Amino acid sequence: MLLRLPTTLSEAQRYLADGAVPIGGATLVWALWQRDGFPEQAMSLRKLPEANLIAREALGAAVLLHQVDDRVPDVLRRAASTVGTGAVRRTATVGGNIVGSTLRCLLPAALVLDSRATVLDRDGTYETDLPEAVAKRPLLVGIRWRDPVASGYYKAAGEVGGPPPFVVATAVHTGDDGGHRLFIAVRDGYEVISETTPCGTGTDEVLAALEGRTWYRCPPRPGRRCAAR
């Protein structure tokens, strides 16, 4: 198998056109290749500058999880810091976790940041909604978002071999009208649901606006709290 390591977007586009298979979500990809056979060409974005960007409003897909630091909003940093073990965080990438993982540990944090995905195909790069990128699993170059006013992250304790821990991510953004809006995303099992509501009127009004959402009505389980409580 020939491994391609492009250093420019045009190189990466050309390798895709030549049939190179992107490496993303490496654990799952490796298992599939062991089962189905290895491709003639594979491609990693670990040498591509755009995929290694770490900034206040952008994060590259090839960034390793242990590299995600306080340059990004707190909700994203905390989400990355709780993924697996230290060894896992030193090998897993942002893009692999968001679009190549069944757990999608970073997805709630990325959703509340109102992130947009930059993806690459044979025709070049383009921007798309993050949920669409997760559904179609294209080659992710990175994500961009608006810097929030504040953000938070909660992850329940998990059990070894048990279901994915319950996760709540939140962020408050300033709208074009100057008002504040709350974004909230919940991971319950393997499902991730997000909602948004104005939040300039007080806690009671925000909870009332969120009441009745699908994730709010889900029955509580022992050791798990409902996101709106």
For residue 172, with 0-12 CB atoms within 10 Å meaning exposed, 13-18 middle and 19 or more buried, which class applies?
middle
Residue 216 to residue 153: CA distance in whole angstroms: 17
Q: Which two tokens stand for residue 30?
A: 């490796």
Percent helix, strand and coil across the chain, each rounded to 5? 30, 30, 40
Q: Say if residue 133 is in the same domain as residue 178.
A: no
Q: Say if residue 69 is in the same domain as residue 173.
A: no
Residue 60 to residue 12: CA distance in whole angstroms: 15
For residue 136, with 0-12 CB atoms within 10 Å meaning exposed, 13-18 middle and 19 or more buried, which class applies?
exposed
What pTM was estimated for this model as a whole? 0.85
Q: Which domain range does residue 166 map to? A: 150-217
Provide the number of structural domains found in the chain.
2
Q: Say if residue 26 is in the same domain as residue 101.
A: yes
CATH code of the domain in which 138 resides:
3.30.465.10
Residue where the block lists tokens 């062991």: 34
Q: What is the pLDDT along the chain (229 residues), one digit of tens a residue?
A: 888 999 999 999 999 999 998 886 555 566 677 788 788 898 999 999 999 999 999 999 999 999 999 999 999 999 999 998 898 899 889 998 998 777 889 999 999 999 999 999 989 999 999 999 888 888 999 999 999 999 999 999 888 778 899 999 999 999 888 889 999 999 988 889 888 888 876 777 777 777 765 553 333 433 444 444 4
